[in-house]
Amino acid sequence: MTAAAMVAEFDDVAGWTADAVRQLGDRYAIPAACRGSASPTALAWLAEACELSAGMRLLDVGAGVGGPAAWAAERFGVSPILLEPMPAACRAAARLFGLPVVLADGRRIPLRTASIDVAWCLGVLCTVEDKAGLLSEIHRVLVPGGSLGLLVVVAQGKQLLRPPDGNHFPGQDELDALLGNVGFDVVEQIDRPAEVPRSWSRRAEEVAAMVEARHRAHRAYALAARQGRRLAGLFDGGHLSMQLIHATRQGRRG
């Protein structure tokens, strides 16, 4: 994952987002730090599906700026660990939420085997070519029977015109086969609920507007914005859909 546009989107914009939140206030942190993928409705579905409860070790792989994990800690009292390969995103998550953040690639997770109760991986699979490698590592660190919550952008057809740089959207059959081959049982899958409370989207939009006002002249801003436009165009054309999946690691809980 080295495309300059992806570094712009996931690293530069992550740092700028944390700066804007610092200025606007803590209430803005979680909506702004759910980087376009999750909403409170989607997170609530994943949290209930995975039966989150206080004290559980939740690993968020590709955590970005940390909004989803911070939301889960605040609402359910879980103990999150964030894993993210982009340095500025790691710093932003640590600054905004003070949660433990590991700077690492999800294909090489520096954690012990079967040391995690629940894993989330939200909006990440489509940015990784080696999806089996990423899912195998998550499988390794999860306890047997442990839950995996996924948010996946799924391709509806074979050929996508002008996908955002560095993205490889799986088809539904490919995704099903991947999960099964790696050793996950899919429990349930739904379309991501579209509804987002206005209070949430308004805060996310205010942060995005401040980032734009401050950085629109920067090349990284233009690259990240182009990624966003391409993605939105594919959704609008019905070529992509966003899916929430609850799967479990095969095997019995010890």
Residues numbered 76 to 105 that lie near ligand SAM (CB under 6 A) are 84-86, 89, 105
Q: How far is the CB of 253 from ligand SAM (least distance, A)?
A: 26
Q: How far is the CB of 164 from ligand SAM (least distance, A)?
A: 10
> How far is CA 131 from its chain centroid?
14
How far is it, in rounded angstroms, from Cα 105 to Cα 116? 17
Q: How far is the CB of 10 from ligand SAM (least distance, A)?
A: 4
Of the pair 123, 146, the CB lying nearest ligand SAM is at: 123
Question: Residue 245, interface with ligand SAM (CB under 6 A)?
Answer: no
Continuous H helices in 142-197:
172-182
- φ/ψ region of 62 (left if φ > 0, alpha if ψ in -120 to 50, else beta) reads left
Of the pair 35, 192, the CB lying nearest ligand SAM is at: 35
**Strands 240-249 vs 184-191: parallel, antiparallel or unpaired:** antiparallel
Among the listed residues 63, 72, 119, 155, the single contact to ligand SAM using CB under 6 A = 63
Question: Residue 17, interface with ligand SAM (CB under 6 A)?
Answer: no
Question: Residue 61, interface with ligand SAM (CB under 6 A)?
Answer: yes
Question: Residue 247, interface with ligand SAM (CB under 6 A)?
Answer: no
Question: Residue 38, interface with ligand SAM (CB under 6 A)?
Answer: yes
Question: Residue 18, interface with ligand SAM (CB under 6 A)?
Answer: no
Q: Mask 196-225, x = binds ligand SAM (CB under 6 A)?
A: ------------------------------
Question: Residue 163, interface with ligand SAM (CB under 6 A)?
Answer: no
Q: How far is the CB of 54 from ligand SAM (least distance, A)?
A: 22
> How far is CA 39 from its chain centroid?
11
- φ/ψ region of 222 (left if φ > 0, alpha if ψ in -120 to 50, else beta) reads alpha
Residue least distant from ligand SAM (Cβ): 64
Q: How far is the CB of 70 from ligand SAM (least distance, A)?
A: 10
Residues numbered 103 to 132 that lie near ligand SAM (CB under 6 A) are 105-107, 122-124, 127-128
Continuous H helices in 123-243:
131-141, 172-182, 198-215, 219-236
Of the pair 124, 224, the CB lying nearest ligand SAM is at: 124
How far is it, in rounded angstroms, from Cα 31 to Cα 37? 10
Which single residue is written with the structure tokens 């109760």?
117
With b for 16 or more beta-carbon neighbours within 10 A and e for fewer, the 176-201 pattern comes to eebbeebbbeeeebeebeeebeeebe
- φ/ψ region of 150 (left if φ > 0, alpha if ψ in -120 to 50, else beta) reads beta
Query: Which residues of the chain form contacts with ligand SAM (CB under 6 A)?
Result: 1, 10, 34-35, 37-38, 61-64, 67-68, 84-86, 89, 105-107, 122-124, 127-128, 134
